[in-house]
Amino acid sequence: MGQLSTTAFLISSALKVLGVFTIWLLAVAGVTLAERKVAAWIQDRSGPNRVGPWGTFQPLADGLKNFVKEENLPAGASRWLFYLAPVISMFPAFVVFAVIPFAAPLATPWGGVNMVIADLPIGFLFIVALGSLGVYGLVLGGWASNSKYPFLGGVRASAQMISYEVALGLSLVPILMLSGNVSLPGIVHQQQQSLWFVLPLLVGLLFFTISYFAETNRLPFDMPEAESELVYGFHTEYSAMKFAMFMMAEYSNLIIASALIVTFFFGGWDIPFWTGDDLRYAADGSIAGGQSAWWITLLTGLAYALKVGFFVFLYIWVRWTVPRFRYDQVMALGWKILIPLLVVYIIVLGAVMLLLEGAGITFGTRYLLWLTALNLILMLGIMFWLDRSRIIVGTGWRQMRPQQAKPRG
Partner 1 sequence: MAIGVKKVERPEAGSSYLRATLKGMGLTFRHLATPITVSQQYPEEKWELAPRMRGTHRMAVHEDGRAKCVACGLCPTVCPANCIKLVPAEDENGERYAAVYEIDEFRCIFCGYCQEVCPVEAIHLGVHYEAAEYSRERFVYDLERLCEQDHPFTQLWDPEDPASE
**Residues at the contact surface with partner 1, assessed by CB under 8 A:** 38, 41-46, 49, 317-318, 320-322, 382-384, 387-389, 391-393, 401, 405-408
CB nearer partner 1, residue 22 or residue 46: 46
Instruction: Quote the least distance from Cβ 171 to partner 1, whole Å.
Output: 16
CB nearer partner 1, residue 38 or residue 104: 38
Q: CB of 107 within 8 A of CB of 292?
A: yes
CA angle 367, 369, 373 (to 5 degrees): 120
Q: CB of 154 within 8 A of CB of 140?
A: yes
E strand or H helix at 256 = helix 240-265
Instruction: Quote the least distance from Cβ 401 to partner 1, whole Å.
Output: 8
CB nearer partner 1, residue 303 or residue 333: 333
Q: CB of 175 within 8 A of CB of 220?
A: no
In angstroms, the CA 42 to CA 171 distance is: 31
Residue 408 is given by DSSP the state P
Instruction: Quote the least distance from Cβ 312 to partner 1, whole Å.
Output: 14
CB nearer partner 1, residue 162 or residue 393: 393
In angstroms, the CA 220 to CA 319 distance is: 7
CB nearer partner 1, residue 214 or residue 279: 214
In angstroms, the CA 251 to CA 25 distance is: 10
CB nearer partner 1, residue 157 or residue 219: 219
In angstroms, the CA 231 to CA 242 distance is: 17
CB nearer partner 1, residue 45 or residue 148: 45
DSSP one-letter string for 123-177: HHHHHHHHHHHHHHHHHHHHHHTT-HHHHHHHHHHHHHHHHHHHHHHHHHHHHHH
CB nearer partner 1, residue 55 or residue 186: 55
Instruction: Quote the least distance from Cβ 230 to partner 1, whole Å.
Output: 24
E strand or H helix at 106 = strand 106-108
Instruction: Quote the least distance from Cβ 33 to partner 1, whole Å.
Output: 15
Instruction: Quote the least distance from Cβ 339 to partner 1, whole Å.
Output: 17
Instruction: Quote the least distance from Cβ 344 to partner 1, whole Å.
Output: 17
CB nearer partner 1, residue 295 or residue 384: 384
* Cα 162 to the center of its chain, rounded Å: 16
Instruction: Quote the least distance from Cβ 55 to partner 1, whole Å.
Output: 12
In angstroms, the CA 260 to CA 175 distance is: 12
Instruction: Quote the least distance from Cβ 49 to partner 1, whole Å.
Output: 8
b/e 96-135 (16+ beta carbons within 10 angstroms → b): bbbbbbbbbbbbeebbbbbbbbebbeebbebbeebbbebb
Q: Is 208 exposed, middle or buried (0-12, 13-18, 19+ CB in 10 A)?
A: buried
Single out the residue of 244, 260, 239, 230 nearest to residue 131, CA to CA.
Answer: 260
Single out the residue of 18, 32, 48 nearest to residue 243, CA to CA.
Answer: 32
3-class DSSP string for 288-357 = ECCCCCHHHHHHHHHHHHHHHHHHHHHHHHHHCCCCCCCHHHHHHHHHHHHHHHHHHHHHHHHHHHHHHH
In angstroms, the CA 192 to CA 341 distance is: 29
CB nearer partner 1, residue 178 or residue 391: 391
Instruction: Quote the least distance from Cβ 27 to partner 1, whole Å.
Output: 21
CB nearer partner 1, residue 177 or residue 386: 386
Instruction: Quote the least distance from Cβ 322 to partner 1, whole Å.
Output: 6
